[in-house]
Protein backbone atom coordinates (compact mmCIF):
# COMPACT_ATOMS: atom_id res chain seq x y z
CA UNK A 1 0.00 0.00 0.00
CA UNK A 2 1.29 3.44 -0.95
CA UNK A 3 1.66 5.84 1.98
CA UNK A 4 1.68 9.61 2.39
CA UNK A 5 4.02 11.07 5.00
CA UNK A 6 2.17 13.67 7.06
CA UNK A 7 3.84 16.90 8.23
CA UNK A 8 4.74 15.32 11.59
CA UNK A 9 6.39 12.27 10.00
CA UNK A 10 3.47 9.87 10.56
CA UNK A 11 2.69 7.66 7.58
CA UNK A 12 -0.91 7.35 6.37
CA UNK A 13 -2.09 4.85 3.72
CA UNK A 14 -2.98 6.79 0.58
CA UNK A 15 -6.10 4.68 0.04
CA UNK A 16 -8.52 3.89 2.83
CA UNK A 17 -12.11 2.85 3.43
CA UNK A 18 -14.96 5.31 4.18
CA UNK A 19 -18.03 4.30 6.16
CA UNK A 20 -20.42 7.27 6.00
CA UNK A 21 -24.05 6.06 5.69
CA UNK A 22 -23.13 2.52 6.70
CA UNK A 23 -25.40 1.64 9.65
CA UNK A 24 -23.61 0.36 12.76
CA UNK A 25 -25.05 -3.12 12.27
CA UNK A 26 -23.53 -3.36 8.77
CA UNK A 27 -20.28 -1.56 9.49
CA UNK A 28 -18.64 -4.59 11.10
CA UNK A 29 -19.27 -6.70 8.00
CA UNK A 30 -18.17 -4.00 5.54
CA UNK A 31 -15.00 -3.15 7.47
CA UNK A 32 -14.20 -6.85 7.94
CA UNK A 33 -14.45 -7.33 4.17
CA UNK A 34 -12.28 -4.26 3.60
CA UNK A 35 -9.60 -5.46 6.03
CA UNK A 36 -9.62 -8.94 4.47
CA UNK A 37 -9.26 -7.32 1.03
CA UNK A 38 -6.16 -5.39 2.13
CA UNK A 39 -7.40 -1.98 3.28
CA UNK A 40 -5.55 -0.77 6.37
CA UNK A 41 -7.08 2.68 6.88
CA UNK A 42 -10.67 3.31 8.02
CA UNK A 43 -12.44 6.68 8.04
CA UNK A 44 -15.35 7.09 10.45
CA UNK A 45 -16.84 9.92 12.53
CA UNK A 46 -18.95 10.35 15.62
CA UNK A 47 -21.77 11.49 13.32
CA UNK A 48 -21.72 8.25 11.32
CA UNK A 49 -22.97 6.36 14.40
CA UNK A 50 -20.89 3.34 13.48
CA UNK A 51 -17.73 3.70 15.56
CA UNK A 52 -18.77 0.62 17.57
CA UNK A 53 -19.19 -1.51 14.45
CA UNK A 54 -15.83 -0.30 13.14
CA UNK A 55 -14.24 -1.17 16.50
CA UNK A 56 -15.76 -4.67 16.46
CA UNK A 57 -14.34 -5.32 12.98
CA UNK A 58 -10.89 -4.09 14.02
CA UNK A 59 -10.82 -6.38 17.05
CA UNK A 60 -12.19 -9.36 15.11
CA UNK A 61 -9.55 -8.93 12.39
CA UNK A 62 -6.74 -9.90 14.74
CA UNK A 63 -4.47 -7.50 12.82
CA UNK A 64 -1.69 -5.89 14.85
CA UNK A 65 -2.81 -2.41 15.91
CA UNK A 66 0.24 -0.77 14.34
CA UNK A 67 -0.80 -2.04 10.90
CA UNK A 68 -4.05 -0.09 11.05
CA UNK A 69 -4.74 3.61 10.59
CA UNK A 70 -8.02 4.77 12.15
CA UNK A 71 -9.57 8.21 11.68
CA UNK A 72 -12.56 9.64 13.48
CA UNK A 73 -13.99 13.15 13.76
CA UNK A 74 -15.25 15.65 16.31
CA UNK A 75 -18.85 16.76 15.68
CA UNK A 76 -20.06 20.34 15.28
CA UNK A 77 -21.76 20.75 18.66
CA UNK A 78 -18.60 19.76 20.54
CA UNK A 79 -16.13 22.49 19.62
CA UNK A 80 -15.80 23.78 23.20
CA UNK A 81 -12.45 22.69 24.71
CA UNK A 82 -13.80 20.45 27.51
CA UNK A 83 -16.60 19.04 25.37
CA UNK A 84 -14.09 18.17 22.66
CA UNK A 85 -11.87 16.29 25.12
CA UNK A 86 -14.92 14.37 26.35
CA UNK A 87 -16.11 13.66 22.82
CA UNK A 88 -12.71 12.16 22.02
CA UNK A 89 -12.88 9.84 25.04
CA UNK A 90 -16.39 8.75 24.03
CA UNK A 91 -15.29 8.00 20.46
CA UNK A 92 -12.34 6.00 21.76
CA UNK A 93 -14.62 4.07 24.06
CA UNK A 94 -16.91 3.18 21.14
CA UNK A 95 -13.96 2.27 18.91
CA UNK A 96 -12.31 0.30 21.71
CA UNK A 97 -8.94 1.91 21.04
CA UNK A 98 -6.29 3.45 23.32
CA UNK A 99 -4.57 5.57 20.69
CA UNK A 100 -6.15 7.02 17.57
CA UNK A 101 -4.22 7.63 14.35
CA UNK A 102 -5.99 10.77 13.11
CA UNK A 103 -8.57 13.03 14.76
CA UNK A 104 -10.29 15.66 12.63
CA UNK A 105 -12.56 18.63 13.33
CA UNK A 106 -15.45 17.53 11.07
CA UNK A 107 -16.61 21.02 9.92
CA UNK A 108 -15.40 24.50 10.87
CA UNK A 109 -18.93 25.96 11.41
CA UNK A 110 -17.59 29.53 11.10
CA UNK A 111 -20.90 30.98 12.36
CA UNK A 112 -20.24 29.38 15.79
CA UNK A 113 -16.68 30.70 15.89
CA UNK A 114 -15.45 27.87 18.13
CA UNK A 115 -13.12 25.83 15.96
CA UNK A 116 -10.00 27.40 17.49
CA UNK A 117 -11.13 26.11 20.92
CA UNK A 118 -11.70 22.69 19.37
CA UNK A 119 -8.25 22.81 17.80
CA UNK A 120 -6.66 23.55 21.20
CA UNK A 121 -8.30 20.41 22.56
CA UNK A 122 -6.88 18.40 19.63
CA UNK A 123 -3.42 19.85 20.37
CA UNK A 124 -3.77 18.70 23.99
CA UNK A 125 -4.75 15.18 22.86
CA UNK A 126 -1.75 15.15 20.53
CA UNK A 127 0.64 16.40 23.22
CA UNK A 128 -0.67 13.69 25.57
CA UNK A 129 -0.01 10.96 22.99
CA UNK A 130 -3.70 10.03 22.62
CA UNK A 131 -3.63 10.64 18.88
CA UNK A 132 -0.77 10.32 16.38
CA UNK A 133 -1.87 13.16 14.08
CA UNK A 134 -4.49 15.92 14.16
CA UNK A 135 -6.21 17.65 11.32
CA UNK A 136 -9.36 19.24 10.00
CA UNK A 137 -12.11 18.58 7.50
CA UNK A 138 -14.07 20.94 5.29
CA UNK A 139 -11.80 23.87 6.11
CA UNK A 140 -11.53 26.62 3.49
CA UNK A 141 -8.45 28.76 2.80
CA UNK A 142 -10.03 31.43 5.00
CA UNK A 143 -10.65 29.17 8.00
CA UNK A 144 -7.21 27.55 7.62
CA UNK A 145 -5.53 30.96 7.60
CA UNK A 146 -7.48 31.99 10.69
CA UNK A 147 -6.41 28.77 12.43
CA UNK A 148 -2.73 29.43 11.59
CA UNK A 149 -2.98 32.98 12.91
CA UNK A 150 -4.61 31.93 16.17
CA UNK A 151 -2.54 28.85 16.95
CA UNK A 152 0.59 28.80 14.80
CA UNK A 153 0.00 25.09 14.18
CA UNK A 154 -0.55 23.60 10.73
CA UNK A 155 -3.03 20.69 10.57
CA UNK A 156 -1.63 17.43 9.17
CA UNK A 157 -4.67 16.84 6.94
CA UNK A 158 -7.66 18.68 5.48
CA UNK A 159 -10.37 16.22 4.39
CA UNK A 160 -12.52 17.93 1.74
CA UNK A 161 -15.07 17.16 -0.95
CA UNK A 162 -12.96 16.38 -4.02
CA UNK A 163 -13.64 14.44 -7.21
CA UNK A 164 -13.19 15.15 -10.93
CA UNK A 165 -16.32 17.32 -11.11
CA UNK A 166 -15.20 19.36 -8.08
CA UNK A 167 -11.39 19.19 -8.07
CA UNK A 168 -10.62 22.05 -5.62
CA UNK A 169 -7.38 23.09 -7.34
CA UNK A 170 -6.91 26.32 -5.35
CA UNK A 171 -7.35 24.58 -2.02
CA UNK A 172 -5.05 21.72 -3.09
CA UNK A 173 -2.37 24.24 -4.08
CA UNK A 174 -2.78 26.00 -0.73
CA UNK A 175 -2.38 22.68 1.10
CA UNK A 176 0.78 21.86 -0.88
CA UNK A 177 2.25 25.26 -0.05
CA UNK A 178 1.66 24.72 3.68
CA UNK A 179 2.45 21.00 4.03
CA UNK A 180 -1.13 19.86 4.61
CA UNK A 181 -2.14 16.50 3.13
CA UNK A 182 -5.26 16.65 0.94
CA UNK A 183 -7.77 13.90 1.73
CA UNK A 184 -10.67 13.52 -0.72
CA UNK A 185 -14.15 12.74 0.55
CA UNK A 186 -16.75 11.44 -1.88
CA UNK A 187 -13.77 10.62 -4.11
CA UNK A 188 -16.08 8.74 -6.51
CA UNK A 189 -18.56 11.60 -6.59
CA UNK A 190 -20.88 9.31 -4.61
CA UNK A 191 -21.03 6.84 -7.48
CA UNK A 192 -23.89 7.70 -9.81
CA UNK A 193 -23.53 10.50 -12.31
CA UNK A 194 -19.75 10.80 -12.30
CA UNK A 195 -19.08 7.09 -12.86
CA UNK A 196 -21.52 7.01 -15.79
CA UNK A 197 -19.55 9.54 -17.85
CA UNK A 198 -18.39 8.05 -21.19
CA UNK A 199 -14.99 9.79 -20.91
CA UNK A 200 -14.16 7.62 -17.89
CA UNK A 201 -15.38 4.43 -19.55
CA UNK A 202 -13.18 5.18 -22.55
CA UNK A 203 -10.04 5.75 -20.47
CA UNK A 204 -10.86 2.66 -18.42
CA UNK A 205 -11.23 0.51 -21.54
CA UNK A 206 -7.68 1.41 -22.57
CA UNK A 207 -6.35 -0.01 -19.28
CA UNK A 208 -8.85 -2.80 -18.64
CA UNK A 209 -10.14 -0.83 -15.63
CA UNK A 210 -13.54 0.47 -14.50
CA UNK A 211 -14.56 4.16 -14.32
CA UNK A 212 -14.23 4.00 -10.50
CA UNK A 213 -10.68 2.67 -10.79
CA UNK A 214 -9.80 5.43 -13.27
CA UNK A 215 -11.12 8.10 -10.88
CA UNK A 216 -9.23 6.63 -7.92
CA UNK A 217 -6.04 6.46 -10.00
CA UNK A 218 -6.50 10.16 -10.92
CA UNK A 219 -6.65 11.01 -7.22
CA UNK A 220 -3.59 8.94 -6.37
CA UNK A 221 -1.54 10.55 -9.15
CA UNK A 222 -2.55 14.01 -7.87
CA UNK A 223 -1.21 12.98 -4.46
CA UNK A 224 -4.59 12.88 -2.71
CA UNK A 225 -5.49 10.51 0.08
CA UNK A 226 -8.74 8.72 -0.93
CA UNK A 227 -11.37 6.93 1.15
CA UNK A 228 -13.93 5.37 -1.22
CA UNK A 229 -16.97 3.81 0.47
CA UNK A 230 -18.74 0.66 -0.61
CA UNK A 231 -20.76 -2.04 1.10
CA UNK A 232 -20.48 -4.28 -1.99
CA UNK A 233 -17.65 -6.85 -1.72
CA UNK A 234 -16.85 -6.76 -5.48
CA UNK A 235 -16.56 -2.98 -5.41
CA UNK A 236 -14.52 -3.02 -2.20
CA UNK A 237 -12.03 -5.23 -4.07
CA UNK A 238 -12.25 -3.18 -7.27
CA UNK A 239 -11.52 0.08 -5.47
CA UNK A 240 -8.21 -1.12 -4.01
CA UNK A 241 -7.03 -2.69 -7.28
CA UNK A 242 -5.62 0.58 -8.59
CA UNK A 243 -1.87 0.25 -8.08
CA UNK A 244 -0.99 -1.65 -11.28
CA UNK A 245 -1.63 0.98 -13.96
CA UNK A 246 -0.84 4.61 -14.68
CA UNK A 247 -2.75 7.39 -16.43
CA UNK A 248 -0.74 9.46 -18.89
CA UNK A 249 -0.80 13.27 -19.04
CA UNK A 250 -3.52 13.36 -21.72
CA UNK A 251 -5.74 11.05 -19.65
CA UNK A 252 -5.18 13.12 -16.51
CA UNK A 253 -6.07 16.27 -18.49
CA UNK A 254 -9.23 14.64 -19.89
CA UNK A 255 -10.36 13.87 -16.34
CA UNK A 256 -9.44 17.40 -15.15
CA UNK A 257 -11.76 18.69 -17.90
CA UNK A 258 -14.79 17.05 -16.21
CA UNK A 259 -14.80 19.87 -13.61
CA UNK A 260 -18.27 21.42 -13.47
CA UNK A 261 -17.70 23.42 -10.30
CA UNK A 262 -20.63 21.81 -8.51
CA UNK A 263 -20.47 20.50 -4.96
CA UNK A 264 -22.42 17.40 -3.96
CA UNK A 265 -22.25 18.29 -0.28
CA UNK A 266 -22.85 21.45 1.73
CA UNK A 267 -20.77 24.62 1.47
CA UNK A 268 -18.37 24.66 4.46
CA UNK A 269 -18.49 28.46 4.61
CA UNK A 270 -22.11 28.33 5.76
CA UNK A 271 -22.78 24.75 6.95
CA UNK A 272 -23.89 24.84 10.58
CA UNK A 273 -25.98 21.70 11.03
CA UNK A 274 -25.72 20.32 14.54
CA UNK A 275 -27.18 16.88 13.84
P1 LIG B 1 -17.96 7.82 -2.53
O2 LIG B 1 -17.52 8.83 -3.52
O3 LIG B 1 -16.94 6.95 -1.87
O4 LIG B 1 -19.07 6.91 -3.25
C5 LIG B 1 -19.78 5.92 -2.56
C6 LIG B 1 -20.92 5.44 -3.45
O7 LIG B 1 -20.40 4.91 -4.66
C8 LIG B 1 -21.76 4.34 -2.83
O9 LIG B 1 -23.08 4.55 -3.25
C10 LIG B 1 -21.18 3.06 -3.42
O11 LIG B 1 -22.19 2.08 -3.51
C12 LIG B 1 -20.75 3.54 -4.79
N13 LIG B 1 -19.53 2.83 -5.27
C14 LIG B 1 -18.42 2.54 -4.55
N15 LIG B 1 -17.52 1.92 -5.30
C16 LIG B 1 -18.06 1.79 -6.54
C17 LIG B 1 -17.61 1.22 -7.74
N18 LIG B 1 -16.41 0.64 -7.80
N19 LIG B 1 -18.43 1.27 -8.82
C20 LIG B 1 -19.63 1.87 -8.74
N21 LIG B 1 -20.13 2.43 -7.63
C22 LIG B 1 -19.34 2.39 -6.53
O23 LIG B 1 -18.88 8.60 -1.47
P24 LIG B 1 -18.91 8.91 0.08
O25 LIG B 1 -19.73 10.12 0.19
O26 LIG B 1 -19.27 7.72 0.88
O27 LIG B 1 -17.40 9.32 0.45
C28 LIG B 1 -16.43 8.41 0.90
C29 LIG B 1 -16.10 8.64 2.35
O30 LIG B 1 -15.68 9.98 2.59
C31 LIG B 1 -17.31 8.49 3.30
O32 LIG B 1 -17.72 7.16 3.47
C33 LIG B 1 -16.75 9.14 4.53
O34 LIG B 1 -15.85 8.27 5.19
C35 LIG B 1 -16.02 10.34 3.93
N36 LIG B 1 -16.86 11.56 3.89
C37 LIG B 1 -16.49 12.61 4.69
C38 LIG B 1 -17.23 13.77 4.72
C39 LIG B 1 -16.78 14.88 5.59
O40 LIG B 1 -17.55 15.83 5.77
N41 LIG B 1 -15.59 14.85 6.14
C42 LIG B 1 -18.46 13.92 3.93
C43 LIG B 1 -18.75 12.79 3.08
C44 LIG B 1 -17.97 11.67 3.08
P45 LIG B 1 -22.28 0.76 -2.59
O46 LIG B 1 -21.83 1.12 -1.20
O47 LIG B 1 -23.74 0.43 -2.67
O48 LIG B 1 -21.41 -0.28 -3.23
Q: Provide the annotated active-site residues.
A: 48
Q: Looking at the 3D structure of the chain, how many domains does it have?
A: 1
Q: Does 106 reside within a domain?
A: yes
pLDDT in tens, 70-88: 999 999 999 999 999 999 9
In angstroms, what is the C-alpha Rg of the chain? 18
Tell me the CA–centroid distance for residue 22 and ligand 1, in Å: 10
**Whole-number pLDDT of residue 5:** 98
| Containing structural domain, residue 44 | 3-192+222-243
The pLDDT of residue 152 is 85
Q: Which of 246, 223, 247 is nearest to 162 (CA)?
A: 223
pLDDT of 120: 98
Residue 79 confidence (pLDDT): 98
pLDDT of residue 135: 98
Q: Is residue 198 part of a domain?
A: no
Asked whether residue 130 is domain-assigned, the answer is yes
DSSP state of 15: B
pLDDT in tens, 198-244: 999 999 999 999 999 999 999 999 999 999 999 999 999 999 999 99
Which protein residue's CA is at the shortest distance from atom 7 of ligand 1? 191
Contact partners, residue 53, CB within 8 Å, separation at least 6: 22, 23, 24, 25, 26, 27, 28, 31
Q: Is 262 within a domain?
A: no
Ligand 1, atom nearest to 211 Cα? 19
CATH number, position 72 = 3.20.20.100
Run of H or E including 138: none
What's residue 1's pLDDT?
79
Domain presence at residue 101: yes
Which phi and psi angles does 71 have, rounded to 5°?
A: -115, 135
Q: What number does the ligand 1 atom closest to the CA of 235 have?
A: 18
Distance CA 72, CA 258 (A): 31
C-alpha to C-alpha distance for 43 and 190, rounded to whole angstroms: 15
**pTM of the shown model:** 0.98
Residue nearest to atom 27 of ligand 1 (CA): 186
Write the residue with the smallest CA distance to atom 26 of ligand 1: 229
Expressed in angstroms and rounded, the spacing between residue 141 Cα and the centre of ligand 1 is 25
State the alpha helices, DSSP H only, in the chain.
Answer: 24-37, 51-61, 81-95, 115-127, 141-151, 169-178, 198-207, 211-222, 233-240, 249-256
Cβ contact 168:162 at 8 Å? yes
Q: Judge whether 170 lies within some domain.
A: yes
Instruction: Establish if 146 belongs to a structural domain.
Output: yes
Q: 79 C-alpha vs ligand 1 centroid, how far in Å?
A: 26
Residue 31 lies in a domain: yes
Which residues of the chain are modeled with pLDDT < 70? Answer: none
Q: Please list every protein residue whose CB sits less than 6 Å from any atom of ligand 1.
A: 18-20, 43, 106, 137-138, 159, 185-191, 195, 210, 212, 227-232, 235, 238-239, 265
Burial class (CB in 10 A: 0-12, 13-18, 19+), 273: exposed
- Residue nearest atom 16 in ligand 1 by C-alpha distance: 235
Amino acid sequence: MEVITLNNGVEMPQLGFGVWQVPDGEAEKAVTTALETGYRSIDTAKLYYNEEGVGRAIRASGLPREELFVTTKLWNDEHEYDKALRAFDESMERLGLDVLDLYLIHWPVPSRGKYVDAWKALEKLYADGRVRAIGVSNFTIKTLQHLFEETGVVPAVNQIELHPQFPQKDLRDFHAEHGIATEAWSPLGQGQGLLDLPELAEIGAAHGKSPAQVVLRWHLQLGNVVIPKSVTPERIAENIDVFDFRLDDAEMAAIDALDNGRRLGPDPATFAWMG
